Structure 1
């Protein structure tokens, strides 16, 4: 059997080296390229046409989410494995919706990552119980507008309505409308509960 040609896209050097070490030790996997940001990753994909790409979601220049979209737009049959620290249901849902065929968190074992790569290479999806449980928890009806997402991000940083209005350049009355809509959509009693909900679900990430 020909080895599975894998492209790694991971911005942290030590994490990338660890992945290389684990995967290259497997006789049926060949690392054909490594990239440290989304733009380089996209360029490498175009030139190398790997069998499987393993990518992080938190990448410089082009996020992992956007990179999945760009790769799938050009290469519909691309086999993409996500390996991320993000474990919120929204993160998993967004990645899968964009075209990821497997989703693992970075505490996954090397054996599980290899199983995911082999499965995806065969055209199969690979989701551990954690990912399946998170997807089952997700409320499909929850769809935030771009503005609501911006407001929610400000809320998680502790901004008042006035501070949100100044940050986004909108009227304070408009902010109150967005906040009310957010709380209603999320089923949250107050801003604190909305913040906890947003962080647990991966709607917002604090840098």
Structure 2
């Protein structure tokens, strides 16, 4: 008799969740035991159901997928988590894996690959396709911004001037200049434009 793998889905888009449900339920070893449209509900179901594998998106309402991963791992250190997301930046992959995800797939992955990732993770192994491995290799170790530098970077990607950043964050304009200089140096960027490009490419910042 085949071992049943109990799977929890955390995905805010109804159609995407239904499509994933259909693909997974077609496999004789997979049983969907719960579905959640947001992180808070997903955490509640995880705590109650204790699934074998959790499949989640990173872009969720109210709470990011990164935070959900950390919360799930806090509840159960051995939580086996598969990320299925549109985010493809090197920072996204790094943050997800660092938080505790055992597999990282983009949403253009085939149903067969998603199933393979779940089966692999259930065995206690990581599943990182070549594209995810490439993203991890691209990540620059020097990018370790402070929370304030991250806030300034978000403002920069939105086209704010130093004065506008100072007003938004309620800090001195001189302090803003210090933060900008520091984050440009850490990112290896020549100017604000290049920093914006790097931030978007690597998933440091996401523009809706």
TM-score by length of 1: 0.99
Is the Cα contact below 8 Å between 2:39 and 2:61 reproduced in 1? yes
Aligned to 1:176: 177
Residues of 2 paired with 1:172 and 1:133: CA distance?
38
Residues of 2 paired with 1:62 and 1:52: CA distance?
20
Alignment of 1:87-166 (within 5 A): 87-166=88-167
The offset of 1:111, in angstroms, is: 0.4
Residues of 1 paired with 2:33 and 2:191: CA distance?
50
Aligned to 1:200: 201
Aligned to 2:40: 39
TM-score by length of 2: 0.98
Is the Cα contact below 8 Å between 2:142 and 2:187 reproduced in 1? no
What number of residue pairs does the alignment pair up? 207
Is the Cα contact below 8 Å between 2:69 and 2:99 reproduced in 1? yes
Q: What root-mean-square deviation, in Å, do the aligned CA atoms of Structure 1 and Structure 2 show?
A: 0.6
1:168-198 C-alpha deviation (Å, 9 max, x unpaired):
0000000000001111111111110000000
Moved over 2 A (4+): none
Aligned to 1:75: 76
Secondary structure (helix, strand or coil) at the match of 2:206 reads: coil
Aligned to 1:13: 14
1:63-113 C-alpha deviation (Å, 9 max, x unpaired):
110111111011011100000000100010001001000000000000000
Gaps of 5+ in 2: none
Residues of 1 paired with 2:121 and 2:200: CA distance?
29
Residues of 2 paired with 1:178 and 1:170: CA distance?
11
Residues of 2 paired with 1:138 and 1:59: CA distance?
24
Aligned to 1:188: 189
